[in-house]
Amino acid sequence: MGFRIKKRTSPKQIGRLKRHRRVRSRVYGMSERPRLMVFRSQQHIYAQVIDDVKGCVLFQSSTLDKNVKLKKGNTIAAAATVGAEIAKKAIAKKLKKVVFDTGGFKFHGRVKALAEAARKGGLVF
């Protein structure tokens, strides 16, 4: 993998990167079933659908997008909005099945809300 851990990285960040590396050794997105990857920062949440065979991002959505229109980006409601938006984009590109990648984060809170909203929007994982 291409993860490099720098000296000044916090222990929490190092743990997340190790978990992400471990998950990525098992989770692989192909063109018929791409990978839905989530990144959660302190202020925003990002989701992108990646085809690992081609090595490209097919589409993405985040709380910074203009069409999401949120006042605050670090809430569970905001994550659910991003999940619904990513599901809408996937259905528009005729994708139903994806592989979910938590990015080394625990599957609860904002990450879980994004996943459940994407499932409600029609994605299967």
CATH number at residue 94: 3.30.420.100
pTM of the full structure: 0.85
Rounded to whole angstroms, how far apart are CA atoms 32 and 53? 10
Total tally of structural domains belonging to the chain? 1
- Per the domain annotation, does 90 fall within a domain? yes
| Chain mean pLDDT for the chain | 90
Whether 1 and 28 have beta carbons less than 8 Å apart is answered as no
* Assigned domain for 6 exists: no
Task: Tell me the CA end-to-end span of the chain in Å, nearest whole number.
Answer: 24
Segments forming the whole domain that contains residue 107: 29-120
Q: Is residue 18 predicted with pLDDT exceeding 80? A: yes
Does residue 13 lie within any of the structural domains? no
